[in-house]
Amino acid sequence: MRLALGAIVKNEAPYLIDWLAWHQALGFTDFIIADNDSTDGTTDILKALERAEILTQLTFSSRHHKRPQPEAYDHMCRRLAGHIDWLALIDADEFIMPETADDDLRTLLQSMSEDTGAVALNWAIFGSSGHLRAEADPVFQRFQRRGAKDRNRGPYGNRHYKIIIRPQCYAKKIRNSHHAKLRERFCFRRANGNALSIDRYGISTDINWSKFRINHYTIKSWSEFIQKKQNRGLADEPSVTRSISFFDSHDWNDEFDASAQTAAPKFNACKERLLRALGNTRQIYDASIRDMVSFVPPAKPETFDNIDSENIPKADAYRANRVVRRLQKIKLRFIEVLS
């Protein structure tokens, strides 16, 4: 069985290797990664791994795609139909997590009924665990506090789901980054085989973590939120950025959960293979880790009430990084005009 992971990424250089290693350890055989205007070394890392035949790299720039994420997902589903058995459509801050060490994703998917067009996995949103600064360890080791399994926690919260779809069942329409239209006769199911009941596209009526879920490390530390997340446009709406209050509204630390640590042995072996595959690009990856760890964020507000994001001072390193990105975009536009 060929099990693929499809994603669109932007400036995920410090996280890519850990994220890929995690899903290799789960049994994924193919990776199709779309690059959305990355400027932090992500593109170089993807190219190196493509040369090593570990993944396939695509380019989905916001300059040419109004909604890069759904357009990338649509492309993947169409392209992979007939070649891949199952395709997980997730983000680089999302980790597919088994309920127990005995739960095997490949075995579960092979056991699904023939009318199953996609399997929906609910989020488990993890907060900052009180961390203000970034560290070099993998995110699933650093952040071990999450939101409660409560359907009333936040507007939708952990009722969000992502899908693992059979590409041949795709009906040529991505509703949003959480949901795709299926051909007639096919349905959405939970990992335990039950039918999925939805409130709206991408939102289930309840939270089901049976067998598998998705650990969503959406904000990470305060430092990483400011450096990586705050001013980055959404993949499906590039012009929409996150306000400073986004951190507070997603900093869910209700319960301690270290269940991800059980994957460490397989993960470590997969990570070592990926690092070797980088070759000389390992220097770029290591530099991205150093930049992340050394970044000094502005002080975290004591309260997020009535805060205007634009009035929060940003560290000099972050401001300089924004200038570099703008200059790179201007350069690319000039190249396009001249060509």
| Residue 334 burial class via C-beta count within 10 angstroms: exposed 0-12, middle 13-18, buried 19 and up | exposed
Residue 207 has pLDDT above 60, yes or no: yes
- The residues that bridge with 176 in the sheet, in sequence order, are 179
Least confident of 132-146, 156-170, 219-233, 267-281: 219-233
Residue 339 has pLDDT above 60, yes or no: no
Q: pLDDT tens, 100-119?
A: 989 999 999 999 999 999 99
In 3D space, the residue among 255, 233, 260, 257 whose CA is nearest the CA of residue 246 turns out to be 233
Tell me which DSSP letter residue 19 carries.
Answer: H
The alpha carbon torsion through 78, 90, 24, 265 (nearest 10 deg) reads -170
Q: pLDDT tens, 215-267?
A: 999 999 999 999 988 766 565 555 556 678 889 999 999 999 999 988 777 99
CATH of 3-290, one of 3.30.310, 1.10.10, 3.90.550, 2.30.110: 3.90.550
Backbone CA torsion sign across 327, 66, 90, 45 = negative
- C-beta of residue 133 within 8 angstroms of C-beta of residue 91: no
Q: What is the pTM of this model?
A: 0.87
